[in-house]
Amino acid sequence: MEYIYLLFNEHIPNLVKFGFSTRNPRDRAAELSAPTGVPGRWDVLHYWEVEDGRGVEQAVFQSLSEFRLSNQEFFRLAPEEAVRLISERIRQIGTNPTEKAKIEAEKRRQTESLEERRRFARIRELEQMIENVGGEIARRQQSIRNNIESGEKTGMAIAFVGALVVLAASFSSINSEKGFMPAAICSAFFAIVSFPILYILILGFEKSKHHEKLEAIEKQVCAEMGIASIHDLERRISNLRYYHKECDY
């Protein structure tokens, strides 16, 4: 057992000595009163039995720093006020603040560890949800995407036929005016240029025709799954990973 003590000297008003000892505080008071240069003597005003004297002492010094005398073991306080303030502080921190701090630190570590496990579990849950939603959207959109793919092939054939038409028309027109060779060169050039242009136009039309249907399916699946969108799930995961919270910043 250790002791936290307050000593007072009737010849030095409003000044108390504070410290800790592993011995009886009265012995400490007698030691301080022994030197002949000290007016009067130091008497025990109050003492507290504690488990961690050094820890309590430092905690009290920190909380009552405004009353401390130049980093010494003295407070400029009336004796009764000093007893009241120190008793109040010891009630707050306990008699073993070092051990208490360790316990609180361990509790915080366990709480943070639990929160971390919950955070990663939530990330996995959201990732699984994205996989499920994405899979269902792909399944329902498959027939439309098959139509788009078929339309792309048809569009390529139409563009090829269109390029042949351009080739024939331009060759016929130029041949009558410029002759065979210029007509062959120019008509081949026009056909080569017209093919990708026609294909892009046909492909764009084909995709735009099905775009609204694809979007409608995606929105329907998301609504059935109770989410706003896949992008919203991805945003939540990003916030959990980088901000540790499932909200906007």
Q: Specify whether 134 is located in the same domain as 42.
A: no
Stated pTM of the model = 0.44
Q: Which domain holds residue 130?
A: 109-242
Residues 140 and 183 occupy one common structural domain: yes
Amino acid 128: pLDDT: 92
Using DSSP's 3-state secondary structure scheme, residue 235 falls into helix
Please tell me whether residues 153 and 91 are part of one structural domain: no
> Does residue 100 form part of some domain?
no
Residue 205 lies in a domain: yes
Beta carbons of 147 and 210 less than 8 angstroms apart: yes
If DSSP states are collapsed to H, E and C, what string results for 157-188?
HHHHHHHHHHHHHHHHHHHHHHCHHHHHHHHH
Counting every residue written for the chain, the total comes to: 249
Number of domains in the chain: 2
CA distance 76 to 69: 7
> 103 lies in a domain?
no
pLDDT along the chain (249 residues), means of 10: 91 92 90 74 92 90 91 92 93 81 77 82 90 91 84 84 84 78 83 86 79 88 88 88 63
Which residue bears the tokens 């004796």? 79
Q: What is the pLDDT of residue 249?
A: 39
Residue at 15 is within a domain: yes
- The residue among 62, 72, 81 whose CA lies nearest residue 17 is 72
Q: Residue 74: beta bridge partners?
A: 17
